[in-house]
Structures are given as C-alpha cells and as structure tokens.
Amino acid sequence: MAGERRKIDLDAWTPPELDAEPKDVLTVKKYAERWYTETKGRHKPRTRQLNRGYLDNVILPELGSVPLESLTVQDVRRWYASLDHYPTRNANAFSLLRTIFNQAVDDELVPANPCRVKRAAVKTRVIEPVALTAAEIRQLADSMPAQWRALVLVAGFGGLRWGELTALRRSDFTLTESDCSVTVARAAVRMKGHFVVGPPKSKAAMRTVPLPSALRPILVAHIAEHAAPGRGGLMFPADTADLLHDNTVRPRFKRGAAALGHPKLRFHDLRHSAATLFAQAGATLADHMVLMGHTSSAMSARYTHSTAARNRSLVEGIWE
C-alpha cells in the first residue's frame, strides 16, 4: 500500500484492470522523460544537450520500451555490451542511466538500481594527452599570431578551459606589482550555432588563478593592443568582436604544435600541461584541485602527467 501511495504522489499510479484494456505501463522511456523535465533547473544547457543525445541515441532505442520495474542487471549488461566502441560516450550514457535509476529507487518505484556493470562508468582515454614543458609553451605562443600569444600563455600556465578563456573580460585580470592573476567567473559554450555565456562548469570552477609574474607585461601589452575596449571588453575577441571560435585558432595552433614536434597536440592539452607543471612545482592535491577548478581528487589525478625529463631527474636523485 505504501508503494501504491508513493506512485499516486508521483502521478505514476494506474488503476487495476477493470476490463480487457491494456494497463498503462511506466516504461524506462516515460520515466526518463519525466526525469529529464524535472532536472531542467538543475543542469546547465550544455549538460542538458548532452543528456538529450545520450537518451535519444544510446539509451532509449533499446531500453526505452522496457517496463521500469522489469529492467534487470542482465538487461543492462547486455545493452552495454552491445554498444559500439565509443568509450567516453558509453561511460557517460551508463552514468546517466544509473543516475535516472537512482532517482527511481528514491521514488520507491524500483527496489534496487539495475545499473551495476563493473567499471562501465570509468572513462578510458582514446587519445593520450601531451604535457608540454614551460619552454615549449612559450615557443608555441611565439609561433602564434600576436593576438593569440597571450591566449596560449594563459592556457598553458593557468590551466583554464577553452570556454573559460574565451569568456574572459579585461576586468577579470589583476595585474599589479604584487599580484598577477585571473578570476574565472563565467564560461562560454557553443550550442546550435551560437554562443551561450553562463556560470562555469561547477562551483569549484569559479576560482582565481595566480599567473607567473613574468606574464604581467605581456598581458598589459595584450590588453592595450588586442582586447576589446572597456573594462567589460573581451580579453580574446574574434576579429568580428564576438567570442572567439576554436576553429579560428586551430589551424595556426596545429602548425605551431607540429613545428615543436607534437603534431597531435590539442588545445586542451595546454590544460594538461599546466596541471603537470603545477604538480611538478610541488602543488599539494588540495592546491591542485583549487588551481584547476576540480571537484574531486580523482579528476585532478587524471590531469597530471609525468615527463621523461622529470622521471630522469627522480631516478638520478635516488642514487644520491
């Protein structure tokens, strides 16, 4: 009776069959759609767009018609095993399905969560990131057009995400004799052909990142020559004065990376590079999480990488 009352409260109850008409079964699709609607105010637009894609293209085509209370661990395991080899997408889709069923458990619609495939939510890298040295970051910046050199330096020594970089305003930088830092207060994402600017990825991503003091004169010169006018002007505007698109920067970035001997370098690898430099400089795990804007120690661990030179230094050190 308590379970039936809970279904009534959630508007999921259907009366007993009084005739031959089929019962309106609460399927995975119906409940997932309800969950998606109810989470509108909790998730950012980009997250909702991704979740919509996982539901429509990965989860619901096979599992949508299954009655919610009938989905078993074996069903989920077979579904996951049948997916094409897209590790990150599959891990995210599994995590989303597990989250939806966690809510169903809380709603007392199912006795247990059937999403219990071991390591299914673990993301495995398809492309191993590249961590540049400080000298390589400076070389890469020098190879870029003048208006993008500071962009590469802030990314490589500050570890900001692309969306955080492109949304930066002049007022986000503190460039005094005693302080050289940047405050991340917003981020930009591109959705359906236009940019959307909003809060960063998480509360932890709203942070102030100290920058090497050697960057101060470079940033001052950049503001004078390339930033949009006014305190609220974009720090790294496109030629159209709009937000900068990564496709605009990518060709020159790839040429510069190839000249360095890293033809597979991605712009996001500058964030990996900064994370590695922070760790090698002696940052504690807590320091690292704050600098990178991470919410978990596991995420910080994913972004730190050793280098051959660092390994050689450590090995030589154990002989002494």
- The pLDDT tens digits of the residues spanning 4-41 come to 776 676 676 777 654 444 568 999 999 999 999 999 88
Specify the pLDDT at position 134.
Answer: 94
Q: At what angle do helices 146-158 and 269-280 cross, to 10 degrees?
A: 50
Specify the pLDDT at position 204.
Answer: 74
Indicate if the pLDDT at residue 306 is higher than 60: no
DSSP-based three-state secondary structure for 290: helix
Per-residue pLDDT, averaged over 232-261, amounts to 94
* Proportion of the chain above pLDDT 70, given as a percent: 86
Strand order in the sheet with 207-210: 173-175, 180-184, 207-210
- Name the band, by pLDDT with cuts 50, 70 and 90, for residue 136: very high
Which regions of the chain carry the CATH code 1.10.150.130?
2-106
Which regions of the chain carry the CATH code 1.10.443.10?
134-316
Indicate if the pLDDT at residue 87 is higher than 70: yes
User: In the chain, how long is the greatest CA-to-CA distance?
Assistant: 87
Query: Under CATH, domain 134-316 is a member of which superfamily?
Result: Intergrase catalytic core (1.10.443.10)
Show the tokens assigned to 234. Answer: 């974009």
Which of 85-89, 150-154, 163-167, 253-257 comes out lowest in average pLDDT?
A: 85-89
Indicate if the pLDDT at residue 196 is higher than 90: no
Show the tokens assigned to 3. Answer: 């379970």
Per-residue pLDDT, averaged over 185-204, amounts to 82
Specify the pLDDT at position 246.
Answer: 92
pTM: 0.70
Specify the pLDDT at position 20.
Answer: 44
Which of 103-112, 159-168, 213-222, 284-293 comes out lowest in average pLDDT?
A: 284-293
Per-residue pLDDT, averaged over 130-151, amounts to 96
Mind telling me the catalytic residues? 161, 268, 271, 294, 303
Comparing 201 with 82, the larger pLDDT belongs to 82
Considering the chain, what is the average pLDDT of its residues? Answer: 87
CATH top-level class of 2-106: mainly alpha
> Helix and strand tally (H, E) in the chain?
15, 5
Specify the pLDDT at position 76.
Answer: 97
Which residues, 6 or more positions from 217, have their beta carbon under 8 angstroms from its beta carbon? none
Indicate if the pLDDT at residue 56 is higher than 80: yes
Specify the pLDDT at position 10.
Answer: 64
Per-residue pLDDT, averaged over 181-203, amounts to 85
Comparing 115 with 276, the larger pLDDT belongs to 115
Specify the pLDDT at position 21.
Answer: 46
